[in-house]
Amino acid sequence: MGPVTFWSAPYAAGPVRASVPLPGSKSITNRALVLAALAEGSSTVTGALRSRDTNLMIDALRALGIGIEGVDTTLTITPAPLTGAAVDCGLAGTVMRFLPPVAALADGDVEFDGDEQARTRPLDTILDGLRAAGADVDGSALPFVVHGHGAVRGGTVTIDASGSSQFVSGLLLSAARFDEGITIHHSGKPVPSMPHIEMTIEMLRAAGVRVESPSDSTEADTWVVAPGPIRPVNWTIEPDLSNATAFLAAAAVTEGEVSVPFWPHRTTQPGDAIREILERMGADVVLAESVLTVRGPKQLHGIDIDLHDIGELTPTVAALAALAEGPSWLRGIAHLRGHETDRLAALSTEINRLGGQVTETDDGLEITPAPLHGGQWHSYADHRMATAGAILGLRVDGIEIEDIGTTAKTLPDFVGLWSHMLDGSS
């Protein structure tokens, strides 16, 4: 483990004004890579995000025998027989939850491990679901081993996916290759981040897979994938809208104006919800000709909001709320206690360390604005904690963010993009 480093978060002396082009969506990139690896023929991925999480996915698929060629953001994926391998998950939830079902189709043992922090992330749901589908798995958390036998029976499984939508998506992505496909019944509290499951279903259908979701029937919390081929697709990746939220927040907290080009008019990305959130907090938000522009108000309002389906936006919204006028209540996000870190505890601890007033509730945070001061902001190896600290640093001089490099998990060169934004350049 290397020495702890701290980055001086830039303070904005005036309104931030910039256009900020952003790289592709991690969520879409890693789903496209998995589907391409299991397809019947070669696929291309254009506009792929190249970050730690996506590079870990690429390296893992290559280790399993998949051909992936190309550099930068354009890749050609050529399926091949899957073999035993060692997979480094890092801290990537999409790798540790999407690839075990792929590994079960391999001929040989696939060993999974990752960063020290990843060993506490819940994986028993996806691994137990795989066992119920006939796969051979040793372990219930990192490190674990999938003993691939070249095929998976599939069939009906019941899981509690209230901890993460990735448990459902992970099973859905590979299920067309299972002998019987899969029928997933969810039993438990509501599944969080449903837009991510909708993203998975839309991409499966684009690849010719027959999928039935709860919206297609009267049976709630049930997903059905029929067995059959996965068609090659030439995927074009949208910008990562969740990564965009920190830059748009910069306009909101500084009375500035920030634009993000190539914003899709229709998307399954949860990050699109930032438009409504910023409007409710007092910002002016305009989407025109595929450019989203946010203009910040003189003073942000507090917000009472259920973030259950868009929990990944919580660190950004918490930072906005800490700088707003009036209290905020962020609800429906108890599941964030099982993310890269316990995000509710981390946000309350770090904002309070700077003089804030944040209280954890059973399912969220209550944030009462208070004068903030500079100090250390710990990132907990969590990329969204790091960017939340950078948002606060725009308005609070002297914030030092631990391990800003953790942002490379989903956004390469965050520091460079942030600096260019503050310079008013793109």
Q: Which residues are annotated as a binding site?
A: 26-27, 31, 93, 121, 164-166, 193, 312, 339, 343, 384, 409
Binding site members for 3-phosphoshikimate: 26-27, 31, 164-166, 193, 312, 339
- CA atoms of 126 and 168, how far apart (whole Å): 8
Closest C-alpha among 240, 327, 273, 216 to residue 25: 240
Place of tokens 């391999």: 106
Laid out side by side, the sheet with 43-46 consists of: 67-69, 74-78, 43-46, 234-236
Greatest Cα pair distance in the chain:
61
Q: Please state whether 336 falls in left (phi above 0), alpha (psi between -120 and 50) or beta.
A: alpha
Distance of CA 29 to the CA centre of its chain: 11
- CA atoms of 401 and 116, how far apart (whole Å): 21
Element (H, E) at 420: helix 414-422
Task: Supply angle C-alpha 389, 391, 392, rounded to 5.
Answer: 65
Side-chain-side CA neighbours of residue 348 (13 Å) = 16
Whether residue 312 lies in the annotated active site: yes
3-state secondary structure at position 44:
strand
Beta-bridged to residue 158, according to DSSP, are: 185
Q: At what angle do helices 194-206 and 26-37 cross, to 10 degrees?
A: 40
Count other C-beta atoms under 10 Å from residue 81's C-beta: 11
Closest C-alpha among 203, 151, 134 to residue 173: 203
The residue type at 398: G
- CA atoms of 401 and 346, how far apart (whole Å): 13
- What values do phi and psi take at 264, rounded to 5? -75, 145
Binding site members for phosphoenolpyruvate: 26, 93, 121, 166, 343, 384, 409
3-state secondary structure at position 234:
strand
Kindly name the residue from 198, 238, 312, 350 that is annotated as catalytic.
312
Q: Name the residues annotated as catalytic.
A: 312
